[in-house]
Each structure stands twice: as C-alpha cells, then as structure tokens.
Structure 1
Amino acid sequence: MNFKDLTSNDIDYARGIYQDKSLSWDERMNILVKFFGKSERTVRKWCSERLGFKEKVEIEPEQYVKAKARVHDGTKKRFIISWAQNNTPVHTGLMKNIEAYADFINADIHIIAGRYKNPTSIWTTEQEQDEFWYDEVVDYLDANRHDIHKYVSILSDIKIQPTAVNPMTGLQALSGVNSCVFGSPKVQLEMIPVLEGNKPKMMLTTGAVTKKNYTDSKSGKTGEFHHTFGFVVVEIKDDETFFVRQVTADDKTGNFTDLYYRVEKGEISEVNGFAAAILGDIHYGHHDQEVLDSTMKLFERVKPKHVILHDVFDGNSISHHEMKDPFIQYGKEVAGTNDLGKEIDFMLDSLKAFEQFENVVIVRSNHDDFLDRWLKNEDWKKQPTYKNSRLYMKMSDMLLEQYANDPYNVKGVIPSIINERYPKFITLGRSASYRVKDWELGQHGDIGSNGSRGSLLQFRKLNTKIVVGHYHSPGRKDGALAVGTSTKLRVGYNRGASSWLQSHVVIHNDGRAQHINFIDGEFTTF
C-alpha cells in the first residue's frame, strides 16, 4: 500500500487502531504494520508526521471508567449484547423491547460503549469537551472483556470505528479459540477455520441501540447507510455447548423477532410462521440427519411459507473430482456409492419431507452441474463401473432434448428429474430471480457478476439484499448473507482447517433476516 493510495476509510481505521489505548503500543504497531504492509518505522512516520495522529492525554469520563470495570453476571445463561455511540440518543423503542426480552429470557444485558467524535453531529455541539452516554444505557454500559463461556468471549474493550467498512478486519486472532462478539453498528458475521475436533469459531458484530449520528464525509455517509439497529443473543447450554444469533430490529419502532418470539412495544408473543427459510446446502448422502430432524421440528413450531433448498444433489457417485482416482473408485465400488441411480432415488425420496410446504424452491446449484458435466465430458464405455450405463443413455437423451429446444436456456437434468416427481416444486435456472420480502433468494452463490466467481464481498455491492448458499460457511456482510451447510462438518474433501458450520437463514414476517446456527444438532435452549 502506498501513502497516496490511502482512502478515508483506511485513515479512519488506522487512526482508530493508533489511538486505541485498550491495546498495548506493540499490539497497535503489529496491527498497523500488517494493515499498511510497511515496516514499523514507516508506519510510525506515516501516523505521527503525515497523518497527524497525535498522542494526547485523555481524561476518561466517569461513565466509561465504570464501564471498563463492568463484570458479567456469571449466574446467567443468556446474554444480550449491543452497542451505543457516545453523545447520541438511544432508540427508546428498541431499548425498551430489549429490556422486556431480557426479562423474558432471563438475560444479562451488555451495551458496548462506542466512542466516536462527530464535529457535524446533529445531536450535540459539546462532543469535543464532554463525552457521555444517555441514561437509558448507562446501567448496561460495558467496556471490559468477558469470557462468558469456555468458548465465547465478549470483547467490549476493543474500540472499533463505527465507519469501518469491515469492522472485524485484523481481529481474527484476538480471542484465541473462542467465538467472539464485537461492538459495531454494522451487523456482520464471519467464520474462522478450525482444525478437526475444535468447536466452531464465529466472529460477530452487534448492531446498535443508538440513533444514526455520523459525519457528512464519504465514510460517514456510508456508515450511516449500513447502520443497523440490533443485538446479539448468546445462550449457554452447558460447559461445552453455546448458541449465538444476531437479531435486527425495525428502524422506526425497534420491534424485532428472535426465533419464535416477537417483541413489540415491550410485549412478547409467539410467532407461528416465517416468510421464508433458506436451508444450508443439503448434499443428500453427505447430509446430517440430526440437523435436518431439528430443522423439521423448528418448522412444526414456526412454519415457513417459502422453503429454499440448495445443492440437494451431491453427485458423489459420478464426481469429476474423483473420477480418475482408481483407489477412490475401488472404495466406492466396494461401498456401492458409485451407483448414480441409487443416489438420485435417495435424493428424490428424501425431498418428500418438503411436500408439506406451500412453496418449495430448488435453487440451481453447482453440484447439479456435476451430472450434466459427466454426460458431456465422460465416455460411458470408459467408466470405472458399467452400472450407470443405461442412465447415461437416458439422461443424455433428456439433455439433448433440452438443447434442441433452446441451447442457451437449458434447465438441466437434476431440476427436470425433481419436477417429474414433484411438479409443484419450483426449480430455478442459473440466472433466475426469486424474491421474498425484498430479499433475493434465487442465486446459489458460486457464480457472481458476469460469470465470475461469487463471493459475499461481491454480492454486498448488488442493488438488492441477498441470501446465497455454496460456501458451507455462514456469513454476513451487511445486506449479503450466506447460509452454512446441512451436511456433516467433515465429508472428506474439506481437509485441514475448516470454517464449515451447519446454519440456515430465516426471513421473518417483518422482512428481517436471521441465521440459525447449529452446534451438535441443536440451535437453542428455548
């Protein structure tokens, strides 16, 4: 990175790290050296001379001093964590709802103290001289670090600029093996790869309970656009198991939905339906039946109007990744897992569980293409087994007919087979759109703009909110979400450290999206 290439976001981030007294000087320098890609000497010169990050004596307000000494309630098994900006009014509707919900689920409330100087603030002209937080959050204010579980930490002592585009950049290692919650007005989720046998590691930001209050700069207006009212819920089941969710609230009223519960004007009621449920990639044959059973129990209690399914077909029997490996082919022959007919029949039989739902959508996915690719690229006479020969002929004829009808709008073999058994299921094409509550749900996630490789960072730039699959790792970058997987966490090809997690996304009837994350087949203590 060259000095002339620094953006206002880069400078804001660097200033936040340089002036963050909760980190030691060495920690700050290590982060900035990695960020700038320069030597420590160059970084110090840039910060002190060229960018003018002056060290100054700071007198901390009494509220913040108390927040730094905050201790979490070790008797509680549930926690609600959000973020509040200094010198900024609280969203009173949301705060009252949080207090009511915390009382309902017996949760300890933590409001992370956010510090941001805004010379163009519409709320106060005294920020330069007086730093404070509004009364509604003072009793819950937190600027300390808490290990609330063996595998979960609240990192309230880390100051993150509210204008940071990616608030968790450079913080992946700070909590060790623990999943961690950071205070930020943005709502983001990132999985960190772990080796087999370790608990999944999640990094989450909270959303805010204070109103929008940003500078009129480019970074300020961008931060204002992505400002989200919300919080994180952490549930402790036992010494080994925890559950975590992000909850977002209505901008005007502060009302919200978490799992089964709707909170409006301080009153809690139970919901009986989701607008949509997007399941983690299924891959029948590699699926985790315990996760799917838990999912169906959830749907018995809260029935989704739209069910969106990704990668229902795995293609293990004819996978091009393993076709030329004679040892793997021998193992499949012995186990009988190279039988395409059996794999397809199992997928079709398993899909029957979804017939009960009003709208079932099969998103065209990359593993569907395994079958079409096999037909196009392989010679049936040279296959490692002949048990798939007649299917090869039958499906080749099916594909030829589709190309004869329209060579540039081919449905594919797997969607056609599914519709033969389930004509009411909606099977989408590669470029299809399927929208529910202003969320785009019709894309798998492997293909991005203009045929490029898809990613959440790319999808966040679209002109629509979107939920995709494909990565097997749940993620959230503002309005772009990815589900995780519904498979077992290890399926043979994700060797080494893995960020996979069994996770769905639900769209509530108020249009707010929420990840449902599974640990050992469960997702809540409720």
Structure 2
Amino acid sequence: MPARPKIALTNDEVLALYRELGTYEKAAAALGVVPTAVRKRVAKALRGHDTGMQVIGSEAGFTSENRKRPSAGPHYLPGSRPRSEAHWSDYSWDGWVRTEAADSSYEEDILDRKGEVVGVRTVTVLDPGVQYPAGWDGPKLADRRTFRVRQADGVKRTIVTGIQDRTPLHGPFMVNLEAFAAYMGASIAVVGDTYAKGWWTALFGNGRDKKQEPAIILDYPSYVGDRVQTQRLQASDVEVCAEVNIIPTAERPLSGLLTYGKGRCAVFSHPKQELESVPRAPHLDPVTVWTTGYATPPNYVQRKAGLKARFHHIIGAVLIEEDVDGTVFIYHLHADPETGAFQHFDVKVDRGQITTGHRVKAIPLGDGHIIHLDDEVDEATFRGLGSLVEVLDPEHVFVHDGLDFYSQNHHNRADPWHAAEVLRRGLTVAQEVRQVGQWLASIQRPGTTVHVVESNHDLALDRWLREGDWRKDPLNAPFYLEAALIKANAVARGESISIFETMVRNLSGDALADVHFLREDESFLVEGVQCGWHGHNGPNGSRGSTQGYLSLASKIAKGHDHTPAKRQGVASVGTMQTLMPKYAKGPTSWAHAHLVIYEGGRTSHVFIKNGKWRAEGRRAQERKAA
C-alpha cells in the first residue's frame, strides 16, 4: 500500500490556502492529499492563534472567538477550586506544608516495542514525608529533641496508631506521641493501611504524557517506613490485628469483627475511634474491640464516602497497659486535629512538652443502681487512695440511674417470689430513695458539680404513683401517700415537678443543696458533648440505643445500656452495679466503665477492673498496702 503524501506547508500556510480556495476539497486537490488532512491542519492553525477571522466553507458562521463559553454574569457566586487540584492530604486545602521528605531519583532505560534500548529517563521517587500547619513554630520530627521520662514502674505499655498509605504523617501529633511514649515508657506500633484513592491522578492530573518523567510514591513516609506493621502483633493480652487492613471509609469498621480476637480484646487500625463490648459468659472478664484513630491527616476522594470519612477522621491512637498483676487496661488517645495536642488523665502533651496535674472537664459515670452498687467500683472511683475522681479532679460528674427501684419496679410487681425476697430483706421505697441521697451526698467534693440525670429507673417512682395501689402495700403506704399528695398539689398549681428529685431532697435535708438535678431529656453540654440525656428515649418516640443516636449531628455521652460503646460521636457508659444481679440472665456485654471528657469534647472510656481504674506499678501497690 503506497504511503500517504504529507503536506509540506506549515499550518498557517495551509490555513491561508484554504481561505483562498474556499473549501477543504479544493485545498486538498491542490496539495494532493485527502480533505481530512487539510481539515486537521486548519484546526491546529486555528488553535495555535486566535485570529477572530471568519471561516468560510463548511465552517461558515463560526469563529474561534464565538466558540468560547461565555463567562457567567455577576449574580453567580465565584467557583470553587477544582476537585482534581493536586494536594498531599485534605489539610493541604488549609495551607499545610509537606516537609521532611527524602525524595530521590534514579535512571532507567527506555525500551521500544522490540525491547531495545532507545534512551534513558529519570524516575522520581517521592516520599510522603510529614505535614505541618503553615507557620508551625513548634518542634519537628527532624529536630534534636529531649524527652521528659518518669521512673519505670513495672507497667508494660504499648501505643498503637494507624497511618494511610501515600499520605504524610501528622507532624505535630507524632511529635507529641513520641514525647508521651518516652514519658510513659511505652513502645509505639504503627499499623499501615491502604486506600485506593487514585493518588496518581490526584497529584499529577489525567492523561500524563508518556514522554514526561515518571514518578513513584513510597507507600509510607520514610520516617516510619521500616517500622510499619502489617501482620498481627500481641501487646500484653491484646490482639493488635494489623493484618485486617480495613478501608478508611468503612461506615462500621468493627462490623463482623467482634469475635475476630477469639474471646480476647482486639485493636484494629482505622481513622475512626470506636469501641464495642463483646457478649461473653457472665463469669468471664469483659472483652472489648477498639479502633485506633490515625497519625496521618485525612486524605480522601472528594465524594460522598470520602467526605463522610473525613468528618469522623480522628487524629489519635490507643494506649494498652498491663500492670504488675497482669490486669490490662485500654484507652483512646484523641488529639486536637491541628496542634496534635492531647490529654490522658491528668497528663497533657502539647508541642512535645509534658505537663501534669491537669483537671478533666467531666466524668459521666456508669449507671449507678445504688442498691446494687459494686463496692470495688465505688472504692476505685471515689473512696480509695488515688481514686479516679481524686486524680482527675473533674469539673462535672454525671450520675445515671441512681435509683434502681428494686423494691417496687413494675417489671417485678406481679412476681410473688420477688415480693417475698423484698419482704425478707425489709426493703422499702423510702429506704431506696434515702440511700440514693446518702450516696450523692458522699461523692460531693469542692470544685466539682454533681449532676443527677433523670433516668428511666428514676422515673419508675413516678410510674409507681400512677399505677400502684397503696391499699395493697401497707409497708410503703405512708411514703406513697406523701409523694402522691406532693404530686397532686403540684398539678393543682400548674407546676411540673420531678417527684424523684423532690423525694430525694426531702429525705436528705440540706445535704444535697449543691447537687444539680436534670429533668428528663434536659440539655447540658460540656465542651459540646450532650451529657443531659440518659439514653432511654430515642428519636421520634423510639427506644433509646447507641445506634439510634447516630442520626443526631451531636456528640452524646449517655447511659442506659450498661454496655460501654463508642460509635462516631456517640459514647455510652457501662455500669457501677454488680455485673450479674438476679434479674440479668444469659451472656452479657455489661462492664464497669465510665467516660472521661477532655478539653475540646474529646473522650475516652475508663474501665474498672479488679478494683483498679488504671494500671498500677510496684510503688502504687506498695502505697496502697501501707
């Protein structure tokens, strides 16, 4: 097949010939080529310079000028930056700077289709490096730093955090995490996860010219590259499941993984910080599964799944402690998304500096049920040397389900054997209510406000007044009639009162003058966290649950379930009562657990195990024994 003739003229010369002859066909005949070849050369000439001149023939009436899209009028808002704009993480939009990157390059041969070398090209190797906010004047990972270290106490500690592939480290957080690890005597495990973000396109755009120099991006920053974990580890008695590699945009990262640890506590790497308590046999210790938070900034595709994931992205980690008796404790470390600062109990870490003796904002307690109160939990929380409240010195304490109403609860009111048990123990409603008041008085401390959240068991007293019959209950008749008269008089005056608060105060005198009672569903925010809801009422009249509250755009610290949990912005506490009262049957996910609220609304659960709320070293145990 003969080769097609080539046009020897320049594009501009072809354009001039076309305009002179008037049609593509005449110009093609003059040049001895096909009309399509002339059309392509004319198009290239028109793209090369904007003549504004009219094209005749088949293009008559159109010019390069009127082909342009008209600009929008002044009534339009200015456009956003394009989604494909190159960036290293979502924080790049806010001016964060990538630094401390060990970029490199090497040369490789260029081969033709036959495999023969036809040239050499340079391949760039990009290190994701570390990102800091614009103008960051704190220490950096590359700086020579000194750490504050406390005396070893025999407690084994491991910090677990996750990172996303091809994403810079969060510099301020890593500076703080290393300082905290040195202070606590902890090792750091960094779990590497992958995410199919289409990074090449995001960084270099679409349709990259094959003749341009190619680039390779390291999976993880070189600062931690040889220390990234992708296989299972064991920290004390906790399974660190680094092999699972959960996609960062997962809506429920722990879905299907509650039993993955085979009856042991397990930690998974994920940018959300979540917690679930796994059902177990009643005689066994609580089993929990956790997700870590990340040490890399959010770096997601700018679509629905990615934007939702960014909303719940936590800069943070998990701390695992094993004390000298082998008791294991796990906590969330939740950092400020910009400064990377965080607080663990009374210890604050900011810009690589450790300070101690700090208060916490609030402690929502596990559900009380004071008549069934576990003495060890009460001792560890309030009474003992170095108790939780003594060390953390909270500004607020929230009490849920202070009243159990065991003596006349509507669930057992028709049970004759339960009635016989109550009679044998000589329990009355007045005794239960008085006991709640005495306990509330005993937990007060200077500088801390005690709030009583009106809960479903507290409200059982009001239900008893509506449904009970004092004529069939002579033991409780005097208290019933007194309370009913107070309620009736309040209704007659057009007042709405809490009969639970009223009777607790009446039986406690002035001892509760500084205790604050919250009415059912009354709002009380601490650092943006809703602490005034017990959790028994769900949206639109539904039954309350942790899952049901996820539809609210609010952080919530609730009770009711007795099952410690943390999903997105909703945290549920455990209980302070004995884990298996007579009415509880079957496997249980209940646990002795409170919630701690730090500055900025960041939260972490605190479990009470073997009468302790944190890992104790040798010296702490010696002080207790003395």
TM-score for the superposition, normalised by structure 1: 0.81
Counterpart of 1:416 in 2: which secondary structure? helix
1:340 is aligned to 429
Deviation at 1:520, TM superposition (A): 1.9
Structure 1 residue aligned with 2:458:
368
Indicate the residue corresponding to 1:235 in structure 2.
321
Whether 1:448 aligns to 2:538 is yes
Q: Report the equivalent of 1:145.
A: 232
2:434 counterpart letter in structure 1? D
The offset of 1:490, in angstroms, is: 1.2
Task: For 1:123 and 1:267, locate their aligned partners in 2 and report how far apart those are by CA, in whole Å.
Answer: 36
Q: Which amino acid aligns with 2:288?
A: M
Deviation, structure 1 residue 348: 1.1
Out of 226-235 and 374-383, give the one that drifted further: 374-383
Contact 1:153 1:180 in 2 (8 A): yes
Residue 339 of structure 2 corresponds to residue 253 of structure 1? yes
- Relative distance call for 1:177 and 1:105 in structure 2 (3 A) is same
CA distance in 1, matches of 2:493, 2:525: 27
After TM superposition, give the deviation of residue 240 of structure 1 in Å.
4.7
Aligned partners of 2:278 and 2:289 also within 8 Å:
yes
Identity rate of aligned residues, in percent?
31
Which segment is superposed worse, 75-84 or 469-478?
Answer: 75-84
Deviation at 1:424, TM superposition (A): 2.7
2: CA distance, partners of 1:262 / 1:349: 35
Compute the displacement of 1:130 (Å): 4.5
- Bigger shift: residues 191-200 or 116-125: 116-125
Which residue pairs with 1:83 in the alignment? 162
Aligned to 1:103: 182
**Displacement after TM superposition at 1:178 (Å):** 0.3
Q: 1:498 is matched by which residue type in structure 2?
A: T
Partner of 2:476: 388
Q: What amino acid sits opposite 1:515 in the alignment?
A: H
- Give the deviation of 1:463 after TM superposition: 2.3
Structure 2: distance between partners of 1:99 and 1:449: 42
| RMSD (Å), alpha carbons | 2.2
The separation in 1 between residues aligned to 2:215 and 2:291, in whole angstroms, is: 27
**Equivalent residue in structure 1 for 2:404, among 293, 297, 314:** 314
- CA distance in structure 1 between the partners assigned to 2:224 and 2:377 by the alignment: 38
Is 1:467 aligned to 2:546, yes or no?
no
CA distance in 1, matches of 2:583, 2:577: 12
Tell me the residue number matched to 1:266.
Answer: 352
For residue 91 of structure 1, report the CA deviation from its aligned partner: 0.4
Alpha-carbon distance between aligned partners in 2 of 1:154 and 1:162, rounded to the nearest angstrom: 17
Which amino acid is 1:488 matched to? T
Change (3 A) 1:106 1:139: farther
Q: Distance in 2 between matches of 1:374 and 1:190?
A: 34
Aligned length: 448
Gap change, CA 1:114 and 1:344, over 3 Å in 2: same
Match of 1:6 in 2: none
**Deviation digits for residues 23-60 of structure 1 (CA, Å, limit 9, x no counterpart):** xxxxxxxxxxxxxxxxxxxxxxxxxxxxxxxxxxxxxx
Looking at structure 2, the residues matched to 76 and 400 of structure 1 have their Cα atoms a distance apart, in angstroms, of 59
The answer on whether the counterparts of 2:346 and 2:360 sit within 8 Å (CA) in structure 1 is no
Cα shift at 1:292? 1.8
> Offset at 1:238?
4.7
CA positional deviation for 1:513:
1.4
Name the larger-Rg structure: 2
TM-aligned CA deviation for residue 120 of structure 1: 5.7
CA distance in 2, matches of 1:82, 1:237: 21
Q: Is the 8 A contact 1:109 1:140 kept in 2?
A: no
Letter aligned with residue 225 of structure 2: V
Amino acid at match of 2:435: F
Deviations 1:51-76 (A, max 9, x none): xxxxxxxxxx9x9xxxxxxxxxxx98
Distance 1:128 1:502 in 2: 53
Query: Pick from 247, 250, 256: which aligns with 1:161?
Result: 247
CA contact (8 A) 1:121 1:215 kept: no
**Equivalent position of 2:279 in the other structure:** 193
**Rounded Cα–Cα distance in structure 1 between residues aligned with 2:187 and 2:287:** 22
Q: Which residue of 2 aligns with 1:508?
A: 598
Ranked by relative contact order (alpha carbons within 8 Å, sequence separation 6 or more), the top structure is 1
CA contact (8 A) 1:440 1:466 kept: yes
State whether residues 367 and 574 of structure 2, in contact with CA within 8 Å, keep that contact through their aligned partners in structure 1: yes
* C-alpha distance in 1 between matches for 2:422 and 2:181: 52
Q: CA deviation at 1:309?
A: 0.9
Alignment correspondent of 1:216: 302
Structure 2 gaps, min length 5 = 1-124, 128-153, 206-213, 617-626
Match in the other structure for 1:135: 222
Give the SS at the match of 1:228: coil
C-alpha distance in 2, partners of 1:462/1:507?
A: 19
Contact 1:285 1:343 in 2 (8 A): yes
The alpha carbon displacement at 1:330 in A equals: 1.1
- Runs (4+) of structure 1 exceeding 3 A deviation are 120-131, 418-421
Structure-2-length-normalised TM-score: 0.69
What's the offset of the Cα at 1:117? 1.7
Equivalent position of 1:351 in the other structure? 440
